[in-house]
Amino acid sequence: MRLNTDGIVREQSGREKRIKKKYNPASQPETLTLNLVIWPAIDSERFQRVQTAAGPTSCVVNADSLETALIGMPVADAFFGKLTPQLLAASRQLRWVQSPTASLEHYIFPELVEHPCVLTNMRGIFSDVIADHVLGYVLTFARNLHLYRDQQREGRWEPIGGGPALPNFSQGPGVVSPVDRAHRHLADCTLGIVGVGAIGEEVGRRARAFGMRVLGVDSHPRSIEGVCEVGSLVDLDSLLTQSHFVVIAAPHTPRTERMFRREVLQQMRTDSYLINIGRGAIVDLTDLTVALKENRIAGAALDVSEIEPLPPDHPLWRMTNVLITPHVAAASPRISERHLEVVLNNIERFRNDQPLRNVVSKREWY
């Protein structure tokens, strides 16, 4: 096995080499040594920054194959990338695993749950970006922008609600018109957040900036200053009956899978909108489609769905009160640098024997 200039470890025929370097307390007394395996391999620029963070006494294996990663695992203290049962079984002293994603439903496996290593994820790096996406949905529905876009394609000037858009110039807007009623005043609306983690909190802050009343439920009830009082999940029914916009920002866990089925959707107001930027598995797609067809709720905005990609013949595509974006709520030119910063920060914390950032419960998947 040899370490190339691009940082990628490639196998060499013949006997394998040990990758562990001995810790020299005289050269760096304040920090610990680190044997880190990365698989799949990252690009050379990121690798150089990881290597710098790990320090001269550490060894970082940037493996270009599963076989190479397996060679490094027996002496690895840490792992970054896609951990598999085979890689975990090959480890002997693994203490920390850094997931490259925030979601963990596709990452967790039974052996990892039982293993004593600490697992960290990427939560928090998408919060403001996804919150902006949510408020885009809210504003679109509140001001009927999706419907006006449809009319624009037809060259049709027609206020939603019917009748003239402008008041009589001789009298002014003396009465509330059907057009007025068809356009929501956000400060009169309530936004409910299901899952008030980092993303949900940012959604709440933006909603409050628009003057909206904010409610929240979470498995960890608490008070968030300037945002809302977060209730427990037993308060979900109350949130649904009060909210004009219901935002799902919860992770996919065994407890949240298909949380929004027919019985829960029926608790929502008939003039409310469901927004899902959490995980598609939380909402039963068939039950949601039925609720929309039967006008039990006013509409829905989905960045994630139970089936991805959503089939072209699915009825949701043709519903004018549904907004669908292709799992892009987290898209931003800022994310890649934040992603790397989490890795570098946790490497520094590990080497200084400090608590790691974004530690998750392996049993709860978040």
Q: What DSSP string runs through 246-257?
A: EEE-----TTTT
Residue 358's nearest CA partner among 127, 140, 164 is 127
Tokens 């997931």, located at residue: 99
Residue 165's nearest CA partner among 191, 144, 137, 186 is 144
Q: Give the three-state DSSP class for 284.
A: coil
Examine the pLDDT at 349 and tell me if it is beyond 50: yes
Better-scored residue on pLDDT, 84 or 33: 84
Examine the pLDDT at 173 and tell me if it is beyond 90: no
Report the C-alpha gap between 311 and 160 in whole angstroms.
30
% of the chain residues with pLDDT over 70: 89
Residue 353's nearest CA partner among 26, 28, 33 is 33
What pLDDT score does 9 carry?
43
Report the C-alpha gap between 47 and 51 in whole angstroms.
6
Q: Which two tokens stand for residue 254?
A: 């065994």
CB-CB contact of 159 with 183 (8 Å): no
Q: How confident is the model at residue 162 (pLDDT cuts 50, 70, 90)?
A: confident
Q: What structural domains does the chain harbor? A: 2-125+334-351 (3.40.50.720), 127-154+185-324 (3.40.50.720)
Question: Terminus-to-terminus CA distance in the chain, angstroms?
Answer: 36
% of the chain residues with pLDDT over 90: 85
Residue 181: other Cβ atoms inside 10 A: 10
CB contact set of 323 (below 8 Å; sequence gap of 6+): 137, 140, 141, 146, 299, 300, 301, 302
CB-CB contact of 209 with 191 (8 Å): no
CB-CB contact of 131 with 206 (8 Å): yes
Vertex 54: Cα angle to 48 and 59 (nearest 5): 85
Cis before residue 309, ω within 30 degrees of 0?
A: yes
Report the C-alpha gap between 282 and 252 in whole angstroms.
7
Q: What is the DSSP-derived secondary structure letter of residue 224?
A: E
Q: What is the mean pLDDT of residues 224-231?
A: 95
Element (H, E) at 333: none
Residues labelled catalytic: 279, 308, 327
Q: Which two tokens stand for residue 176?
A: 């509330």
CA within 13 Å, CB half, 299? 18
- State the pairing for strand pair 59-63/222-224: unpaired
Q: Which two tokens stand for residue 138?
A: 């809210």
Mean pLDDT estimate for the chain: 91
Over residues 67-117, the pLDDT tens digits come to: 999 999 999 999 999 999 999 999 999 999 999 999 999 999 999 999 999
- State the pairing for strand pair 118-120/228-231: unpaired
Q: Which two tokens stand for residue 248?
A: 């799902």
DSSP 26-69: TT-TTS---EEEEESPPPHHHHHHHHHHH-TT-EEEEESSHHHH
Report the C-alpha gap between 226 and 125 in whole angstroms.
21
Residue 353: other Cβ atoms inside 10 A: 9
Q: What is the DSSP-derived secondary structure letter of residue 142?
A: H
Q: How confident is the model at residue 171 (pLDDT cuts 50, 70, 90)?
A: low
